[in-house]
Amino acid sequence: MSGLRPGTQVDPEIELFVKAGSDGESIGNCPFCQRLFMILWLKGVKFNVTTVDMTRYPHLSPKYKESFDVGCNLFAKFSAYIKNTQKEANKNFEKSLLKEFKRLDDYLNTPLLDEIDPDSAEEPPVSRRLFLD
């Protein structure tokens, strides 16, 4: 199997997360997971299977309080902009959406506390992270 892009030889990496069985390690009884597993297997796709023990699943939450708030209105603003049928209100919806994008962009460009060196005399750099925190 060649890569997704012409000229590359790297196969795409697929990781299938499935519900773990009662022992926490074997594949559990999720029909959706088993269906995806069988489809990938029958197509001859190389993939990794990671079982997730639902009694001890990882809690994914941001480290910083500001990460909870930034971007939380993005979907609502985007939906309002897309669903709008009144031409005269379009400018306000677009302005509101762009304001929310700007807020997210500013947050992503601002370095977090663990990215700043307190001993450095230089001005804090622009953050290079691609995620909230």
CATH of the domain at 32: 3.40.30.10
Position 57 confidence tier, pLDDT thresholds 50, 70, 90: confident
Give me the chain's average pLDDT, please.
84
Residues 79-128: pLDDT tens digits?
A: 999 999 998 999 999 999 999 999 999 998 888 877 777 777 777 678 87
Does 72 share its domain with 30?
A: no
Nearest residue to 67 (alpha-carbon basis) of 122, 33, 108: 108
Total of domains in the chain: 2
Domain housing 24: 15-56
Same domain, 106 and 76: yes
**pTM, 2 dp:** 0.54
Q: What residues form DSSP beta bridges with 51?
A: 18
CB contact at 8 A, 54 and 45: no
